[in-house]
Amino acid sequence: MEAHRTGSSRRGRTGGGACAYVVHLQSRRMPIEFQIEATCGRARLGKLITPHAIVETPVFMPVGTLGSIKGVPQDLLEELGVRILLGNTYHLYLRPGVETVRRMGGLHGFMAWDRAILTDSGGFQVFSLNELRRVTEEGVTFRSHLDGSSHFLSPESSMEAQIGLGADIIMAFDECTEFPAGRERMRTSMEMTLRWAERSKRYFEEHKNEVPWGSRQSLRSAQGELTSVASLQGERIPSGMAPPNDESAEGRADKSVRATLEGGELGSRGRPGTAVPTWVGPSSTAGRTQSLFGIVQGGMDFRLRKESALRTIDIGFSGYAIGGLSVGEPREVTREVAEATLEHLPADQPRYLMGVGTPEEIASYAGLGVDMMDCVLPTRAARHGLLFTSEGKVSIKQARYAADAGPLDPACGCRVCQRYSRAYLRHLYAANEVLAQVLNTVHNLSFYLDTMRRVRHSIRLGEGARSPSGVSSQPKP
What are the strands, taking DSSP E only, across 336-404? 351-353, 372-374, 386-389, 392-395
> Strand pairing partners for 319?
293
**Which candidate, 40, 19, 23, places its Cα nearest to that of 456?**
40
Under 8 Å between Cβ of 366 and 43: yes
CA within 13 Å, CB half, 36:
28
**Which candidate, 281, 289, 229, 224, places its Cα nearest to that of 256?**
281
Could you tell me whether strands 319-322 and 217-218 are parallel, antiparallel, or unpaired per DSSP bridges?
Answer: unpaired
Residue partners of 139: CB distance under 8 A and separation at least 6: 152, 153, 154, 155, 157, 173
Distance CA 17, CA 406 (A): 41
What positions carry a catalytic annotation? 120, 374
Could you tell me whether strands 59-61 and 372-374 are parallel, antiparallel, or unpaired per DSSP bridges?
Answer: parallel
CA angle, corner 131, sides to 126 and 134, nearest 5? Answer: 60
| Biggest CA pair distance of the chain | 71
Distance CA 235, CA 57 (A): 39
Taking residue 458's Cβ as centre, other Cβ atoms within 10 Å add up to 22
Cα dihedral 99/100/106/111 (nearest 10): -160
